[in-house]
Structure formats: C-alpha cells, structure tokens
C-alpha cells in the first residue's frame, strides 16, 4: 500500500467524529440538491401532466386569426387516422353570467369562463372525467358541470337549476336553463375549478358561432408530438393553423417554473458551498493537529507534494464517502417521492421521475467538492518548515 | 535526482562536510546569528556529539546537517553531495535515502502502530513488497528490544520504548547518517542510558554515523569526537 494512502487513512479514521461530520456535510449537500430537484422537477412535471390532461393535450391546435372554422369531424378524423392519436377533441370557450335559481334569493356570478366540449371525444382526449369530484360528466345538452370555486360562489350543488346567459355574435343576450350534474376540482386548480363545462353544441347554438376555439390532441406517445404537428401542418398547409406541442403551448407557465427550479438549485449549490467550507474547517483542524507529524514526515523523507497528497487523499475519501451516502439518501428520497405520489397539503401530487443520472451527477459534484475543499488545507502544509514543524 | 548516482563524491570518507556554514535569522537590526562560519567534517562511522549551552546553535546546526533548514551562507555536503542549493524535493530525496532522525519528543505518528512507524521510511522509498518491509521492520524492532510491541499503537508505549521505536525508524533504511536532537532529553536516567547504549551498540555493529545534539555529554561516555559550540561558533572539537 502506498504510504501516503496508509497515513491518510490512519489519520482520518482515527478521528471518526471529524470524519463523520465532514462526510455528513457532503451527504447533506447532495441530499438538499436532490430534494430540491426532485420536488421542483416533480412540480414542473405535474404541471405538464395536468396541462396535458386538462388544458392542452400533447398537441394544441388553434387558429392564428381567431376561431377554427373547419368541421370537427374532418380534423378529428384526419388525426385519428394517423394511428398515433389516442383521442382528439375540440373546445369552444366563451364567458357567461350564471344564476343559481334554486335559492329564494338568486345568486349570480359574472364573467365566468364557459367551455363547450364534445362529450364523447372529450373523454377520449382528456382526463376531464378525473376532475369530477361530485356527480357525473355531461349527460345531456342542458347539463352543466361547475368548477368547485364557481359552485362555492353560487352555493350550488348537484341537481340545482342554473340559468346561463351569454352574448351571441350579434350582441344579443341568450339565456338557457341547465341542471348541475357535476362539480369539477383538481389539486393545484389547473383544470376547471373556476370554469363551467357544457355541451359544445349548446354553446354554439346560444352564441351562434359554429366554430371551435381549439383542437386538443392526445397521443399514445408524447414523442410523436413533432410528427403529428408536421403532418397536420402539411395537411392544412394553406391555412392559418397554429400547431404547438405541450412544451410550446405551456411555455409561459413552464418558463416561470423552470426559472424557479434553476434558482432553487442555485440555492442548493450555495448550500453545497457552505458544506465545502465546513470540510475546509475540519481539514484545517486536522492539519493543525498534525503539524508536528507533518514535520516528522518531511524530516524522514516526504516532500511537499507527498504531504499535500496525504490531505488530498483525505478530502477524496471524505468526498467519496459523503457522495456515496448522499447518493443512497437522495435515491431513497426520490424513489419514495416517485412511489407515493408526494403532495403537500392541497397541492397537486408531484410527478416525480427518479433520475439516477441526476443523483449520480450531484453525488459526483459532492465528491469533487470534497477534493476541492481539501486543496487549501493541503496547500497550507507546504508552507510548514520541517525544522519548525517538528518542534510544534 | 537520485542521490545514489549523484556525481561529486570526493575521494575521502566524509559523510558530513560543513564549509563556513552561517545561519542568520531575521534581517537588519532584529537579525540573530545562529551559526557563524562553522566548518568541520564528520567521517563515516563516527559517533559525534554536538554540545553547547542553550542558544549556542546546536539544534540549528543539526537542522542544517539534516537538510531541514537552509544556510544563509557557506555550504553543507552530505555524503559528497553539495546540498546547499538543492531544491526542496531533492533535499527530501537525500533525507529519505541517507539520513535518519531521532527527536527529543520521539515524534512517532500516533495514528500508526509501532511496526507501521518503523516501516514508514521504507514505504517512502517503496523498495520491496509490503511483507518484506514488515519483516525488516520487525527485525529492527527486535534489535531495539521491542519484538513484542510491534502491533501496539505508538502512543501506548512508555517514553523509553517510544524512543527505541524512533531509533528503529531512524535505522531501518540503513541510512549513512543518523541525527539525534536531544534524544534522551525526555527520558529518565535509566531509559536514557538504555537508549545511549543502544545507539552506541548500533554504531559499532552497523558502522552508521551518529551525530547527536545533547546537553548530557557525560552520559554518552567515550565518543569519537565532540564539537563544542558557543554563540554560534565552534569553540573546540575534542
């Protein structure tokens, strides 16, 4: 065994308290970064998941000039024939006033988004049914689903009669009666909590608009987003469709989340930096307590580089053991979060993906930190004069 | 540099040659002359004492001979190698191959066992298998009367035993020159005499040169030569 390794390990393992403190400093630094990443990446993934499931699908198609006037069946049929599409549907959105007529004193709400959907296609293309926490999905042309916030505002429940008023394309008010059949609610409120859902044909009749606001496409495999976008654009080459993948459609939402992730990771890395200072302090204590022995080793033949290597080996061992512990703890947390669908209170459940590569990279950073943190204490040993050090 | 192949070995048997060696600490008004124009030679196989009052420059001179410190002026040659201007790395190389140290405070590595302490100089040179080094270390420990203590931690030994380990460590590579800086200074009189007898016996048996700084000149009895220092200068060589 190389004597430098022998001396390094003997020095280190005889000071178990200092060694464990340094190892735990590295492991905690790794763990903090992994927890940050897993949590916030889980939030981002959960948002993407909910955007796909409820808002945009994997591919969102709109018209650059306003609403889509192509017949629903034609576009949906084309998409379904590609063999890559699990479901496709259209939606028409507008805004409406609503009045709960079951109360002795009518309760009204104004400017509520109302979403017209194709009931059968909607169930194929989205996870809208999963948001119904009470009652059922649409059962007739005059049934309505209220978002939980709207229902709360209107003090409405299943079976209550509602009067919905919209403005048609001629500027006239159009009113229809509906019956509440369902209440929609999602953790995180990214779906329809503040909206109302009715049959698209009813909404078209009321508004006099035989058109759609958007076309949502759900794929068997999200990887096909680009190909579907390409095929659809080619099919309707002369038209003003805007075809966006989920990444593009949710860009503004995701950009904020990703900035947050980057910031929180930065905080984690600053935490790692403070752990590095902890290691430097511990190693400086070891160097100080070993000045005489350093002098002795120099006297019996070690050169400056040999002594430096002894302390770099110690930093490497601390970094390696801390990184290994951090990898184990980080992986355990990530796997736990992935398997239990971690959520905090009423928030959306995180969509955690255990990424061993990320955890390994973070652990590797911890190892590098251990080595880097040993460089200064190791360098300090080169400043010791052997004659002085032996008498320290 | 490989000191064994170093050119410049002169045709005499000097293991140490000090030529007008000077060491000044500090500078200007606050400088202290620790050694002043000190010249002498020590022959191979000699047992030499360096004596003098505190502050006379004994330890400074020993550090110069041991290449632990650099002179301000003059030259120091070890086994024919002019070490005055060697790099730090080359000085370490000379120490590793040619010099063994025994310190007043024993200076064993507390985290290592007795045998590991003795193996350390051999491991630094790196010649031979670990088992061979261990065998050699145990042999030397047997010579100094510590055959049964090899696996103990260094800090579990008595002062006299620790100094015997230090002697074993200094001798294990068969260095041409063994330097002792008050090697009996921390020992009781019986242990002191044991260690002195051991060093003199090894000097006779192994023909290694011993240069010992001491206050206890009488305890060493007859030696080959004694260099007496006073105020950084050689007062006499007896």
What is the average per-residue pLDDT within B113-138? 89
- Burial call B19-41: b when 16+ CB within 10 Å, e when fewer: bebbbeeeeeeeeebbbbebebb
pLDDT for the residue A181: 96
What is the average per-residue pLDDT within A179-199? 91
For residue A97, being part of any structural domain is answered with yes
With an 8 Å Cβ cutoff, the interface of chain B facing chain A consists of 63, 66, 68-69, 88-89, 92-93, 95-97, 100-101, 103, 105, 107-112, 116, 119-121, 123-126, 130, 169-170
What is the average per-residue pLDDT within A289-300? 88
Task: Residue A250: name the closest of A113, A41, A39, A52 by CA.
Answer: A52
Contact A91, A115 (CB under 8 A): yes
pLDDT for the residue A345: 63
pLDDT at A1 over 80: no
- Contact between B101 and A300 using a beta-carbon 8 Å cutoff: yes
- Specify the DSSP element, H or E, that contains B132: helix B130-143
- Contact between A304 and B89 using a beta-carbon 8 Å cutoff: yes
For residue A83, being part of any structural domain is answered with no
Q: Over pLDDT 70: what percentage of chain A?
A: 98
Question: Å from A14 to nearest chain B CA?
Answer: 7
- For chain B, what is the mean pLDDT? 87
What are B132-170's pLDDT values in tens digits?
Answer: 999 989 988 988 888 888 999 888 888 889 988 998 999
- Contact between A386 and B89 using a beta-carbon 8 Å cutoff: no
A302 to chain B, any CB pair closer than 8 A? The answer is yes
A291 to chain B, any CB pair closer than 8 A? The answer is no
Q: Is residue A375 domain-shared with residue A266, that is, in the same domain?
A: yes
From chain B, pick out residues whose CB is under 8 angstroms from the CB of A14.
Answer: 110-111
Q: What is the dihedral of CA A135, A137, A138, A143, to 10 degrees?
A: 20
Q: Is residue A116 domain-shared with residue A46, that is, in the same domain?
A: no
Q: If DSSP codes are grouped into helix, strand and coil, which group holds residue A84?
A: coil
A9 to chain B, any CB pair closer than 8 A? The answer is no
Q: Which of A2, A11, A301 sits opposite B92 (nearest CB)?
A: A301
Per this entry, what is the length of chain A?
392
B4, exposed or middle or buried, with CB in 10 Å at 0-12, 13-18, 19+? exposed
Task: Report the residue of chain B nearest A13, measured CA to CA.
Answer: B111
pLDDT at A55 over 60: yes
* Cα–Cα dist B141/B148, whole Å: 9
- Contact between B95 and A300 using a beta-carbon 8 Å cutoff: yes
- Contact between A301 and B121 using a beta-carbon 8 Å cutoff: yes
Task: Residue A180: name the closest of A228, A148, A220 by CA.
Answer: A148
Task: Report the residue of chain B nearest A15, measured CA to CA.
Answer: B111
pLDDT for the residue A347: 67
pLDDT for the residue A242: 93
What is the CATH code of the structural domain delimited by B47-68+96-237? 3.40.50.300
Q: Is residue A274 domain-shared with residue A200, that is, in the same domain?
A: no
Question: Å from A260 to nearest chain B CA?
Answer: 48
Q: Which of B69, B105, B120 sits opposite A300 (nearest CB)?
A: B120
From chain A, pick out residues whose CB is under 8 angstroms from the CB of B116.
Answer: 6, 10
Q: Which of A11, A301, A386 sits opposite B111 (nearest CB)?
A: A11
At B42, list the tokens. 């020590």
pLDDT at B209 over 90: yes
A7 to chain B, any CB pair closer than 8 A? The answer is yes
Question: Å from B6 to nearest chain A CA?
Answer: 17
* Cα–Cα dist B43/B59, whole Å: 20
Q: Over pLDDT 90: what percentage of chain A?
A: 56
Q: Is residue A94 domain-shared with residue A169, that is, in the same domain?
A: yes
- Contact between B93 and A303 using a beta-carbon 8 Å cutoff: yes
* Cα–Cα dist B61/B229, whole Å: 10
For residue A77, being part of any structural domain is answered with no
What is the average per-residue pLDDT within A242-270? 84
Q: Which of B92, B97, B116 sits opposite A302 (nearest CB)?
A: B92
Contact A66, A95 (CB under 8 A): no
- H-only helix segments in chain A: 3-13, 16-50, 72-80, 119-125, 148-154, 200-207, 225-235, 246-249, 251-289, 291-299, 304-340, 356-381, 386-389
Pairing of strands A214-219, A85-100: antiparallel
Q: Is residue A258 domain-shared with residue A383, that is, in the same domain?
A: yes
CATH of residue A166:
2.40.40
- Specify the DSSP element, H or E, that contains B22: strand B14-25
Instruction: Tell me the C-alpha to C-alpha distance, in Å, between residue B157 and each of A46, A292, A310, A321, B162.
Output: 65, 19, 26, 33, 6
pLDDT for the residue B8: 40
The band of B10, judged by pLDDT with boundaries at 50, 70 and 90, is: very low
Contact A53, A206 (CB under 8 A): no
State the CB neighbour count (10 A cutoff) for residue B112: 22
What residue ranges do the domains of chain B occupy?
Answer: 47-68+96-237
Contact A298, B92 (CB under 8 A): yes
- The interaxial angle of helices B159-171 and B130-143, nearest 10 deg, is 130
* Cα–Cα dist B202/A366, whole Å: 52
Q: Which of B68, B109, B123 sits opposite A386 (nearest CB)?
A: B68
pLDDT for the residue A257: 79
At A299, list the tokens. 């006297």
From chain A, pick out residues whose CB is under 8 angstroms from the CB of B68.
Answer: 298-299, 385-387, 390
pLDDT at B4 over 50: no
For residue A334, being part of any structural domain is answered with yes
For residue A247, being part of any structural domain is answered with no
Q: Which DSSP letter does residue A350 get?
A: P
User: Which of B107, B154, B163 is the best mutation test for A, with the most CBs of A within 10 A?
Assistant: B107
In sequence order, the β-bridge partners of residue B42 are B16
Instruction: Tell me the C-alpha to C-alpha distance, in Å, between residue A303 and each of A364, B80, B175.
Output: 30, 21, 18
* Cα–Cα dist A233/A246, whole Å: 16
Task: Residue A120: name the closest of A88, A92, A145, A96 by CA.
Answer: A88
Q: What is the dihedral of CA B97, B100, B106, B108, to 10 degrees?
A: 20
Better pLDDT: A105 or A372: A372
- Contact between A10 and B111 using a beta-carbon 8 Å cutoff: yes
The band of A322, judged by pLDDT with boundaries at 50, 70 and 90, is: very high
Q: Is residue A269 domain-shared with residue A384, that is, in the same domain?
A: yes
Instruction: Tell me the C-alpha to C-alpha distance, in Å, between residue B169 and each of A104, A239, B70.
Output: 103, 91, 24
Q: If DSSP codes are grouped into helix, strand and coil, which group holds residue B125?
A: helix
* Cα–Cα dist A292/A124, whole Å: 77
- For chain A, what is the mean pLDDT? 90
Tokens 């068969």 sit on residue: B174
What are A27-39's pLDDT values in tens digits?
Answer: 998 998 898 888 8
Q: State which residues form the domain around A194.
A: 90-212
Q: Is residue A379 domain-shared with residue A295, that is, in the same domain?
A: yes
- Contact between B124 and A302 using a beta-carbon 8 Å cutoff: yes
Task: Residue B108: name the closest of B164, B148, B63 by CA.
Answer: B164
The band of B7, judged by pLDDT with boundaries at 50, 70 and 90, is: very low
pLDDT for the residue A133: 94
pLDDT at B212 over 60: yes
> How many interface pairs between A and B have CB atoms less than 8 angstroms apart?
84
pLDDT for the residue A332: 95
For residue A79, being part of any structural domain is answered with no
What are A342-378's pLDDT values in tens digits?
Answer: 776 666 778 888 899 999 999 999 999 889 989 998 9
Q: Which of B92, B121, B125 sits opposite A298 (nearest CB)?
A: B92
Task: Residue B122: name the closest of B113, B111, B135, B112 by CA.
Answer: B135
- The tally of domains found in chain A comes to 2
In sequence order, the β-bridge partners of residue A175 are A165
Phi, psi of B160 (to 5 degrees): -65, -40
Q: Which residues contact B52 (CB under 8 A, 6 or more apart)?
A: B58, B228, B229, B230, B235
Task: Residue A55: name the closest of A111, A131, A110 by CA.
Answer: A131
- Number of alpha carbons in the 13 Å side-chain half-sphere of residue B207: 4
Contact A367, A323 (CB under 8 A): yes
Q: If DSSP codes are grouped into helix, strand and coil, which group holds residue A372?
A: helix
Q: Is residue A315 domain-shared with residue A191, that is, in the same domain?
A: no
pLDDT at B1 over 60: no
For residue A241, being part of any structural domain is answered with no
Q: Over pLDDT 90: what percentage of chain B?
A: 46
């Amino acid at each position: 065994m190389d004597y430098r390794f022998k001396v390094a390990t003997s020095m280190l393992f005889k000071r178990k308290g200092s060694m464990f403190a340094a190892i735990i400093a590295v492991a905690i630094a790794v763990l903090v970064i992994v927890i940050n990443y897993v949590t916030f990446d889980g939030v981002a993934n959960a948002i993407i998941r909910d955007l796909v499931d409820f808002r945009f699908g994997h591919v969102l198609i709109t018209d650059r000039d306003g609403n889509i006037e192509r017949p629903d069946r034609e576009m949906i049929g084309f998409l379904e024939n590609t063999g890559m599409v699990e479901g496709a549907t259209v939606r028409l959105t507008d805004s409406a006033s609503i009045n709960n007529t079951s109360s002795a004193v009518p309760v009204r709400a104004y400017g509520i988004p109302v979403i017209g959907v194709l009931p059968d296609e909607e169930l194929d293309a989205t996870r809208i049914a999963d948001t119904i926490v009470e009652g059922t999905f649409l059962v007739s042309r005059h049934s309505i689903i209220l978002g939980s916030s709207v229902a709360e505002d209107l003090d409405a429940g299943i079976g209550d009669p509602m009067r919905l008023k919209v403005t048609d394309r001629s500027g006239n008010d159009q009113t229809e009666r509906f019956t509440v059949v369902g209440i929609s609610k999602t953790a995180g409120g990214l779906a329809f909590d503040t909206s109302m859902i009715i049959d698209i044909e009813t909404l078209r009749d009321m508004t006099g608009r035989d058109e759609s606001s958007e076309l949502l496409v759900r794929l068997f495999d999200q990887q096909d987003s680009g190909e579907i976008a390409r095929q659809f654009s080619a099919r309707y080459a002369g038209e003003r469709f805007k075809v966006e993948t989920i990444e593009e459609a949710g860009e503004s939402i995701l950009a904020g989340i990703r900035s947050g992730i980057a910031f929180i990771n930065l905080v984690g890395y600053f935490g790692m930096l403070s752990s590095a200072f902890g290691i430097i302090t511990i190693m400086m204590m070891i160097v100080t307590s070993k000045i005489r022995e350093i002098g002795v080793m120099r006297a019996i033949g070690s050169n400056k580089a040999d002594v430096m290597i002894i302390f770099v080996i110690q930093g490497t061992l601390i970094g390696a053991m801390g990184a290994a512990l951090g990898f184990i703890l980080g992986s355990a947390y990530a796997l736990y979060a992935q398997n239990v669908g971690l959520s905090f209170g009423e928030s959306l459940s995180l969509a955690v993906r255990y990424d061993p590569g990320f955890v390994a990279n973070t652990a590797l950073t911890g190892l590098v930190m251990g080595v880097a943190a040993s460089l200064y204490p190791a360098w300090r040993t080169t400043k010791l004069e052997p004659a002085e050090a032996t008498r320290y | 540099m490989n000191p064994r192949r170093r050119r410049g070995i002169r045709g005499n048997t000097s293991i140490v040659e000090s030529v007008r060696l000077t060491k000044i600490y500090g500078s200007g008004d606050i400088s202290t002359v620790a050694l002043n124009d000190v010249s002498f030679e020590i022959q191979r196989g000699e047992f030499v004492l360096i004596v003098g009052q505190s502050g006379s420059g004994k330890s400074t001179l020993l550090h110069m001979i041991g290449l632990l410190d650099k002179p301000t002026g003059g030259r120091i040659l070890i086994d024919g190698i002019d070490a005055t201007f060697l790099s730090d790395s080359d000085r370490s190389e000379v120490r590793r191959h040619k010099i063994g140290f025994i310190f007043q405070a024993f200076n064993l590595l507390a985290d290592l066992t007795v045998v590991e302490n003795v193996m350390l100089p051999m491991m630094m040179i790196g010649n031979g298998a670990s088992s061979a080094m261990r065998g050699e270390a145990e042999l030397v420990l047997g010579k100094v009367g510590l055959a049964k203590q090899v696996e103990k931690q260094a800090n579990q030994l008595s002062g006299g035993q620790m100094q015997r380990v230090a002697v074993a460590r200094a001798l294990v590579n068969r260095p041409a020159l063994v330097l002792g800086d008050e090697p009996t200074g921390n020992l009781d009189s019986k242990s002191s005499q044991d260690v002195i007898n051991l060093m003199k016996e090894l000097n006779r048996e192994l023909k290694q040169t011993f240069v010992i700084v001491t206050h206890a000149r009488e305890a060493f009895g007859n030696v080959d030569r004694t260099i007496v220092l006073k105020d950084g200068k050689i007062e006499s060589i007896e």
